[in-house]
Structure 1
Amino acid sequence: DEDNKRLYFLTTRSFQFFLLRRFTSGAVSSPPILRDRLLNLKRSRMISGRLRQWLSLLVCVLAVILLKSEGASVGITFLQDAVAKGAVCLDGSPPAYHFDKGSGAGVDNWIVHMEGGGWCEDVPTCLSRKSTDLGSSKQMVKQFGFSGLLSGQQKSNPDFYNWNRIKVRYCDGSSFTGDAVDRANNLFFKGNSIWEFIIADLLAKGMRNAKNAILSGCSAGGLASILHCDRFRALLPASTKVKCISDAGFFLHAQDVSGGKHIEEFYGKVARLHGSVKNLPASCTSRMGARPELCFFPQYVVQTMQTPIFFVNSAYDSWQIKNILAPSAADKSKAWKSCKLDLKKCTAAQLKTIQDFRTQFLSALNRAGVVNSPSKGMFIDSCYAHCQVGKQIQWSSDSSPVVSNMKIAKAVGDWYYERSPIKKLDCPYPCNPTCPK
């Protein structure tokens, strides 16, 4: 029966490693000690029989936590017809999404939320993704818990609970911008085709009649919500109220601690490998001369955007501190290792560098017009976090971060429905006691 099928699913290896990725990436809250143990397990090259038994038992516990934290489980939809159009994951498998249909007054309202998961910048890293859910729909779990912005519970998501809510799975490694094929390595860089096919599919399923529509995303998906925002607006009727939300997607063009340009070089590799440049916003690339790949950085895109957009971001984004400010390549001595894991372990000099990074981030927001534009909103907290709108604990729970007496859910709702302009900026770390410990 269905209960037995579900129990079997929870004990499969694919779900075990899905849980490991979710908990160790911070996508689901877990105690620091447990997360550290999981990270050590994840790094192990060999798992003994006894360890595998322990993992199976642990999975059952984690599954309960996951289901409670992420809300109702929503089934997956594979778009088999996309294969013939070349809109495929890195391994050639069909793209997919999870769709929870709207009801009542929300039946004509739509949220399309794009999953995150980083990028692959060269053939080896893309090949390694092919065997995971970030490169193949064959590896994706069939059920996904919706919470936060995607929650179907009125109490926890009063402004959007009854909308049509779609989570687009991420399997291309380019923030849905790629358009190339590597036949020699059997790699398909078709992120832009995936995005176009999925949006066309949703339009045919009723989104073309939407009264309200939101394009949102987290991390690499949050970047995609910026890059595709104006195109999304153009595909919907003029009568539709369209806005975008970027969660942890405002990646800063900045130097690392060694004075190098690690993130600039990284995004350049992604753009060249995936053939992304032609799918970046023309309003940006036309101004960048010989450096159109710099339009992967939101600070150069947002200033010419026409569609209203809201930014949920930490000024101390944990991914950016670890990968833009102090990437391993720029920290050969590992002087930043402890600091990146826990800001309380940073030296005074490291904290100053991090505070300077915050200053750069806020300056980039200001120069992009986010601070002063009436159509743009922001909730910038000082929590050491990455991706917040999809987690109930940070979206609208009793322990959610508060900035100027407001939680993220209220800020996003007030901005979308224009109940009030929202420009929430937190004080510098470590001032906010409501940040998750």
Structure 2
Amino acid sequence: MKIILVPMISFVIFSRYTDAIVMKKVILTAATSKGAVCLDGSPPGYYIRTGTTSPNNWILHQEGGGWCFNEDQCVLRSKTDLGSSKGWPPNVTYSGLLSDDCTVNPDFCGWSMVYIGYCDGASFSGNVENPVNWKGTTLYFRGARILEVVINAVLEAAGDNIEHIILTGCSAGGLATYLHADYVRSKVPSQIPVHAIADAGYFLDAPNVNGEMHIRERYQYVYKMQNCTGGVNQDCIAANPTEEWKCFMAQYTYPHITTPIFLLNSRYDTYQINFILQLHCHAPNCSTDQMKEFMKYGNEFLVAAAPAITSKSNGVYIDSCQIHCQSLKEIPWSKFIVGGQTMRDTFNAWLTNSTAMKSKVVDCAYPCNPTCLLNS
């Protein structure tokens, strides 16, 4: 029997308030002269905190928040903080990987931190030259320009003493990490190490419960609508000349990324289960047939993530918790355990080439991991 589906939600608004670190807003007003603007034409910006013990080491986090899958959704989005910088607060706070609490984040608590505001609706990838008038509203698709001006501004702020960069992001920002890791790498001198950790950005090109490739169609439309050809991994574009849209998806971009990158994801990511698989239940409160689909998707995720799992150089942390975005939350970052290791310790082991711990761990199938309950 075919399952009746509810309409797909176009984007998720992530709160800029959690706990710990305070970061101050920087709005790049001059960027408007370069056409680098949010959906509504307002200037882009970022939040910054200078590090204490390691101020020359930088973490650059790209905000998440889904996508607008068509012009109507982009109009709605342009009236929110995910499409306009007009309402952004002067300060924000975050935990996990961006925390200054060394009990939560011992390896990076003293680093300088940047949180890049997301207001373009296409993971910082679009570049349409002329404004788009849609039903009386003017839209700007300029995400690639936003990323360029922000990275330039951050590198200028960092100065000549910069020693290390980690690019990261969750959700749409996690996808952006896959898409732009090599671009950021190209912006800094080769002697400066650049690494990436992509959180919850490995969205599958997979069918829903009715066998429909609906998510593919949506990504294809975003890619075309926002003219993302020049704003994604160019080696991927060269490898897919007749299917460029694939380069807007992590599983097709991943094999072309040359920057060292760490995959952080749940194999039962709640966003993917709800909006890609379109299975609207939370295990174990699902029917027998729904649980079959749920478990099947977890296996499909591992198959799609095989290039990362089998990579000889990149890192992996795949848990079986029902969650979306983990690196900015204290409990997942420092207390979830897979293979006897937390994600923060696994990431650091990979980053430092430590042999004390594994740099790649993959969880067993749901519901095997009791530490997932810590987040409930």
Q: CA deviation at 1:278?
A: 2.4
Q: Match for 1:322 among 274, 295, 304? A: 274
Structure 2: which amino acid aligns with 1:379? Y
- 2:105 corresponds to which residue? 157
Structure 1: which amino acid aligns with 2:23? V
Distance in 2, matches of 1:122 and 1:159, equals 41
Q: CA deviation at 1:25?
A: 6.1
Q: Match for 2:294 among 315, 334, 354? A: 354
Q: 1:378 to 1:26 in 2, by over 3 A?
A: farther
Distance in 1, matches of 2:205 and 2:264, equals 18
Q: Deviations over 1:151-206 (max 9, x none)?
A: 11222111111111000010000000010143423101100000000001111112
Whether the 8 Å CA contact 2:13–2:82 is kept in 1: the answer is no
Q: CA deviation at 1:220?
A: 0.2
Structure 2: which amino acid aligns with 1:82? A
- 2:158 corresponds to which residue? 206
Q: 1:27 to 1:174 in 2, by over 3 A?
A: closer
Report SS of the residue matched to 2:370: coil
1:5-404 pair list within 5 angstroms: 69-104=18-53, 106-180=54-128, 181-184=130-133, 185-206=137-158, 209-326=161-278, 336-337=279-280, 339=281, 342-366=282-306, 369-396=307-334, 400-404=335-339
Whether the 8 Å CA contact 1:271–1:293 is kept in 2: the answer is yes
Q: Deviations over 1:354-383 (max 9, x none)?
A: 2111111111111xx212223211110000
Distance in 2, matches of 1:434 and 1:324, equals 26
Question: After the TM superposition, which of the residue ranges 414-423 and 238-247 deviates more from structure 2?
Answer: 414-423
Q: CA deviation at 1:207?
A: 5.3
Q: CA deviation at 1:73?
A: 2.5
Report SS of the residue matched to 2:140: strand
Whether the 8 Å CA contact 1:27–1:387 is kept in 2: the answer is no
Q: CA deviation at 1:218?
A: 0.4
Report SS of the residue matched to 1:107: strand
Distance in 2, matches of 1:419 and 1:278, equals 37
Q: CA deviation at 1:26?
A: 9.3
Whether the 8 Å CA contact 1:27–1:391 is kept in 2: the answer is no
Whether the 8 Å CA contact 2:23–2:93 is kept in 1: the answer is yes
Report SS of the residue matched to 1:76: strand
Q: CA deviation at 1:27?
A: 5.4
Q: Does residue 417 of the first structure (1) align with residue 338 of the second (2)?
A: no
Whether the 8 Å CA contact 1:115–1:218 is kept in 2: the answer is yes
Distance in 1, matches of 2:225 and 2:14, equals 28
Distance in 2, matches of 1:411 and 1:75, equals 30
Structure 2 unmatched ranges of 5 or more = 1-10
Distance in 2, matches of 1:130 and 1:303, equals 33
Q: 1:26 to 1:431 in 2, by over 3 A?
A: farther
Q: CA deviation at 1:234?
A: 1.4
Report SS of the residue matched to 2:326: coil
Structure 1: which amino acid aligns with 2:360? K
Whether the 8 Å CA contact 1:257–1:325 is kept in 2: the answer is yes
Q: Deviations over 1:120-145 (max 9, x none)?
A: 12111011011110000002122211
**Does 1 or 2 have the higher relative contact order (CA < 8 Å, sep 6+)?**
2
Structure 1-normalised TM-score? 0.79
Whether the 8 Å CA contact 1:110–1:207 is kept in 2: the answer is no
Whether the 8 Å CA contact 2:144–2:231 is kept in 1: the answer is yes
Distance in 1, matches of 2:178 and 2:19, equals 25
Q: Deviations over 1:294-346 (max 9, x none)?
A: 111111111121111001100000000111111xxxxxxxxx43x1xx21211
Report SS of the residue matched to 1:350: helix
Task: Give me the identity figure in percent.
Answer: 39
Distance in 2, matches of 1:361 and 1:75, equals 37
Q: 1:70 to 1:282 in 2, by over 3 A?
A: same
Structure 1 unmatched ranges of 5 or more = 1-23, 29-65, 327-335
Distance in 1, matches of 2:160 and 2:237, equals 29
Aligned residues: 358
Stretches (4+) displaced over 6 A: none
Whether the 8 Å CA contact 2:246–2:253 is kept in 1: the answer is no
- 1:332 corresponds to which residue? none
Report SS of the residue matched to 1:378: strand
Distance in 2, matches of 1:130 and 1:151, equals 30
Q: CA deviation at 1:208?
A: 5.1
Q: CA deviation at 1:241?
A: 1.3
Distance in 2, matches of 1:200 and 1:182, equals 24
Report SS of the residue matched to 1:138: coil
Q: CA deviation at 1:103?
A: 2.2
Q: Match for 1:433 among 363, 367, 370? A: 370
Q: CA RMSD in A?
A: 1.7
Kindly name which structure, 1 or 2, has the bigger radius of gyration based on alpha carbons: 1
Structure 2: which amino acid aligns with 1:395? W
Structure 2-normalised TM-score? 0.91
Structure 1: which amino acid aligns with 2:164? N
Whether the 8 Å CA contact 1:131–1:139 is kept in 2: the answer is no
Structure 2: which amino acid aligns with 1:409? R
Whether the 8 Å CA contact 2:174–2:202 is kept in 1: the answer is yes
